[in-house]
Amino acid sequence: MRLRYSPSSPFARKVRVAAAVLGVPLELETADTMDANDTLRQQNPLGKIPILLRDNGPALFDSSVIVTYLDHVAGGNRLIPTETEARFATLRLEALADGVMDAALLQVYERRYRPEDKVVQSWLDNQAGKIARSLAELEAAPPAAGAPTAGDIALACAFGYLDFRHGGAWRADHPNLVAWYEAFPARCPGFSETAPG
C-alpha cells in the first residue's frame, strides 16, 4: 500500500505512526496539494492528503478512515478498541485532536494564502478559540498513558504540529499535556521518526 503524503502534514503523520504501531508496511509518495497536475486530485476529489492507495479497491481518505482501515486489516481492536465506551472515547479524542489540527492548519493557510492586508484577525481568533477550549478540556483530564490508541496518536500529532508551525506556545499553560506528550515517544513506535520537516 502506498500513502500520498507530505512530511509536514500532521494528518499524514497520524497515518504513518498508526502504520508503524500496527507493523503495516506503507510505501510513501509525496503529493503537492497546490499542483493542479498532481494525480492526488484524481485519487481524492477533495485534493487533500493523506490518501491511501491500495492494490485492490479504491483509494481511501481521510486520515481517520485510513487509520480505521489499517486497524481493521491488522486484526482490529489495536488502535481502536471494540468495547463500546472505550471505542467512542478513542474516536471522540481522535475527532478533538483532528479538530485542533484543522484549526491550526487553517491559521497557517490564512497567513500563507492571503495577502497580509487581507488576513482576517477575527477568523484567526475563532480558530485559536477552538484550540484553546480543546486543550483546556484535555489539560483537566489528560488521556491515560497506556498503549497508544488512534486518539492518542492524533493528539500527539496535533502537539507536534503546534510545535512545528506555532512555536510551541501551547506548552506554557498546559503542564499536564506537556508531561503526557514528552512521555509519548517512548511508548509509540514511529512517532519520533515522523517528526515534521
Ligand X SMILES: N[C@@H](CCC(=O)N[C@@H](CS)C(=O)NCC(=O)O)C(=O)O
Residues 6+ apart with CB under 8 A from 75: none
| Three-state secondary structure call for residue 53 | strand
Answer for which of 17, 19, 26, 49 binds ligand X (CB under 6 A) is 49
Closer of 95 and 178 to ligand X (Cβ): 95
Least spacing, CB of residue 46 vs ligand X, in Å: 7
Q: How many of the chain's residues bind ligand X (CB under 6 A)?
A: 14
Which of these segments, 22-30, 48-56, 137-145, 183-191, binds ligand X (CB under 6 A)?
48-56
Asked if 160 touches ligand X (CB under 6 A), the answer is: no
Residues in region 83-142 near ligand X by CB under 6 A: 98, 105
Identify which range of 43-51, 113-121, 139-147, 163-171 contacts ligand X by CB under 6 A.
43-51
User: Min. distance of Cβ 146 from ligand X in angstroms?
Assistant: 24
Name the one range near ligand X by CB under 6 A: 8-16, 20-28, 128-136, 145-153: 8-16
Q: Which long-range contacts (CB under 8 A, 24 or more apart) does 8-11 make?
A: 8/164, 8/196, 8/197, 9/49, 9/50, 9/196, 10/101, 10/104, 10/105, 10/157, 10/158, 10/160, 10/161, 10/196, 11/48, 11/49, 11/50, 11/62, 11/63, 11/98, 11/101, 11/157
> Measured at the alpha carbon of residue 178, what is the angle toward residues 172 and 179, in degrees to the nearest 5?
135
CB of 189 to ligand X, least distance (A): 21
Q: Which residues bind ligand X (CB under 6 A)?
A: 9-11, 33, 47-50, 61-64, 98, 105
